[in-house]
Amino acid sequence: MEKNELPCCGPASTRHVTGLPHVYQFDFDLEQCEQCDRYWVRASRMGVRGWEAVTAADAEKMRTLDDEELHAFMRKWAYSLG
């Protein structure tokens, strides 16, 4: 567990759920807040980090899709952020 500054609970421990494919030059990791169980994607690029909210349904897809399907899903998901 790692302590992070989360939008949901401020300083809270997170559980790393899974690494996600790199898309659009971003590194993504699925994390879960240990206080409220909310899922977040930690996005990092060139030393800059941020947190993106994830629905429970999207988190489930991120955890269960095979590699090819996950990469396509992450491209669509990440594109919707911009």
Q: How far apart are CA 53 and CA 67, in angstroms?
A: 22
With cut-offs at 50, 70 and 90, classify the pLDDT of residue 81: confident
Q: How far apart are CA 34 and CA 19, in angstroms?
A: 18
Which ranges in the chain belong to alpha helices (H)? 56-64, 67-79
Global pTM? Answer: 0.89
Average pLDDT (58-80) is 93
Question: What digits encode the pLDDT tens for the residues 35-46?
Answer: 999 999 999 887
Q: How far apart are CA 35 and CA 3, in angstroms?
A: 11
Question: What digits encode the pLDDT tens for the residues 6-35?
Answer: 999 999 999 999 999 999 888 999 999 999
Strand-pairing partners, residue 45, are 48
Per-residue pLDDT at 24: 86
